[in-house]
Amino acid sequence: MNHLPSNPIWIYDTTLRDGSQREGLSLSIEDKLRIARQLDELGIPFIEGGWPGANPKDVQFFWQIKEEPLKQAEVVAFCSTRRPHQAAAEDKMLQALLAAGTRWVTIFGKSWDLHVTAGLNTSLEENLAMIRDTIEYLRSQKRRVIYDAEHWFDGYKRNPEYALKTLITAKEAGAEWLVLCDTNGGTLPHEVSQIVRDVIQATGIENNQSPIPNSQSPIPNSQSPIPNSQLPIPQLGIHTHNDSDTAVANALAGVHEGVRMVQGTINGYGERCGNANLCSLIPNLQLKLGYSCIEDEQLAKLAQMSRLTSEVVNLAPDDHAPFVGRSAFAHKGGIHVSAVARNPLTYEHIQPEKIGNQRRIVISDQSGLSNVLAKARSFGHELNKQDPACRQILERLKVLESEGYQFEAAEASFDLLMREALAYRQEPFELKGFQVNCDILQGITSPCNNALATIKVAVNGEDILEAAEGNGPVAALDAALRKALVKFYPEIATFHLTDYKVRILNSASGTSAKTRVLVESSNSEQRWTTVGVSTNILEASYQAVVEGIEYGLLLQSPTKTALTFLS
């Protein structure tokens, strides 16, 4: 960014540090670099890379990012204020922070007197000295400073006079951003609004143009120290956690009162209940409140950024996430579908394409002809209500769902059902039969390849018999089927199962209960889901696996219409 956009809100991403504190989430150096580069492409101005003094991984991250700098974003190193009763210049953590070589640094300090006396075990005056000395030292080392006021809202509610002293100290020491942190995530929006107003009144901070992150900033360049006579005019930021499920609302409340930096993470990842979700904050700020966060063409990549981050951190995407979730613009009820077909504004609060998402028509036993027609169009099938095939598809759908099939989660199977009703489904192979043997060895509890599947299929009139082992019957069956078909369809080698779900539909029937199997397949570029139902779990699995391979082959066809549900 080489210019100051009108009405800007500066987005500060902390996925690589605060986000990685989520339970069950772990990032390698390669993961962090990949996410950082994608955030840079998205147009995020500040990217917090980690705490270089805390672990070797973060040190290596900053080394590597210097070798191949980002195109536009500022990478920020994070650290605490100096230790009590120690000179800032002698604090090893601050030396590690400086060694990271970033132009901007973020320092957090204590705002809550309880944390000063009980956590740091020092005096309130010493805590103020720690804040002042740390910021002044970093400024003398030509660093631009963002000050995170940790536990700000809790500290202010319990001792407002002292909390304000910590903030004013950071301001007078030369911090360019003063970030109010709801570290425990327990504050509500109306409290945020009032406290931000109090801060602005007490500190004299006005809603001026915000300091921008790069060297084109109108304030003195970061390559030289800022003289005391030219102290920067600080602006307010906000950092919220989601323990009360109000992190996004709290951040928006802060912006409404004059905050100009918003900190958060992609998909809301973070410790405990997470951080403010940038995938919700950015479109709310930009599309609904009229602020400038990123360019419109970058905003159209937001859903892609959400899914990519989920993939990198190895967590399943939240299909029901606002804005970017797969179900965020999904329509299931027949009345909804009919209305959306006439005017999307009837049931959509924004155009999904603006944030890189897309409309989906969900098919289920609650569907009417409007759903079938809309879904058929999304797959490239032109139907009208007078077409007998339309009614046939609807009736077949309702019969199958009454038997336990679920097509709203298995749209690839529904496309195959439509093709069959329209008489142009071409099955690439024919099953002749299969057998699966499992060896249960007494006294052995660890997993082993103890299943053997033998399968016979016919392709173009030629019978093929193959066998394969697998870690369980479904894996063996899948391996045997691929082995039999790959000679005829080499592209099958790129297919793989990405998810396998089993649901017992009528558990009261005991071991004879009906089972529904959902299989998600991928060719590394697209994903599709198929379904099988049977009282025999192997038969249900086979149905879903076979349709998954059939649909994957269909996607390889150059005549295949692009599907709205594929990610």
Which pLDDT value is given to residue 44? 97
| Cross-strand partners of 455 | 434, 466
pLDDT of residue 515: 87
DSSP 321-357: -TTTSTTTTEE-SHHHHHHHHH-GGGT-SS-GGGGT-
- The residue among 154 and 333 whose pLDDT is bigger is 154
* Alpha carbon distance 151, 185 (integer Å): 9
Burial class (CB in 10 A: 0-12, 13-18, 19+), 134: buried
pLDDT greater than 60 at residue 561? no
**Are 469 and 480 in contact, with CB atoms under 8 Å apart?**
no
Residues forming beta bridges with residue 430, ordered by sequence position:
458
Give 70-115 pLDDT, tens digit per residue. Answer: 999 999 999 999 999 999 999 999 999 999 999 999 999 999 999 9
Structure pTM?
0.70
Q: What is the pLDDT of residue 510?
A: 61
- Average pLDDT of every residue of the chain: 85
Q: What percent of the chain has pLDDT over 90?
A: 53
Tokens read off for 183: 């570290």
Higher pLDDT, 384 or 106: 106
Q: For residue 184, what pLDDT is reported?
A: 96
Query: In the block, which residue shows the tokens 């009590």?
Result: 84
* Ordered domains of the chain (ranges, CATH): 10-294 (3.20.20.70), 330-421 (no CATH), 430-556 (3.30.160.270)
First and final C-alpha spacing in the chain: 30
CA dist., res. 394 & res. 398, Å (int)? 6
Contacts for 41 with CB less than 8 Å, ≥ 6 apart: 71, 298, 301
> Would the pLDDT of 134 be above 50?
yes
Q: Per-residue confidence at 335, pLDDT binned at 50, 70, 90?
A: low
pLDDT at 187: 97
